[in-house]
Amino acid sequence: MTRVKRGTIHTKKRRNILSKTKGFKWGRKNLVRLASTATTKAGAHAYTDRRKKKRNTRALWQIRIGAFAKDHNLSYSKMMNLLTKANIKLDRKSLADLAANHPDVLSKLLEQIQ
């Protein structure tokens, strides 16, 4: 069997791993073995945190809507119940945006419902 020199492939693989760890601290940015585990863990955390981001933003929307409802002597659930009974199909994202940036519009809407 002929001899295969793997220098270029090996170097390319190391360079690829080290390019992903720019800005990491200590040896994880320039030692290949540490950089390899660091990129694996970083990728795993990035994957889960993309899903956590969706949870957190929805929770933030609910908090903003709830704070607006409290200012108008309602609870979050009662306000959402009024909106569904009035057949207003605004999602929580747009309601939270109205509560934060245009509270007068949302308060007029609540007055019409009640």
Spans of all domains in the chain: 11-113
Q: Which pair of tokens denotes residue 84?
A: 């569904």
Q: Which pair of tokens denotes residue 87?
A: 């057949």
The residues near 113 (Cβ < 8 Å, ≥ 6 apart) are: 82, 83, 85, 86, 88
CB atoms under 10 Å from CB of 100, counted, come to 15
Q: Is the pTM of this model over 0.85?
A: no
Q: What band does 1 get if pLDDT is binned at 50, 70 and 90?
A: confident
Tens digit of each residue's pLDDT (9 = 90 or more) over 57-111: 999 999 999 999 999 999 999 999 999 999 999 999 999 999 999 999 999 999 9
Tens digit of each residue's pLDDT (9 = 90 or more) over 21-71: 999 999 999 999 999 999 999 999 999 999 999 999 999 999 999 999 999
32-71 and 103-113 helices, crossing angle to 10°: 50
Q: Is the model's pLDDT at 6 over the cut of 80?
A: no
DSSP state letter for 23:
T
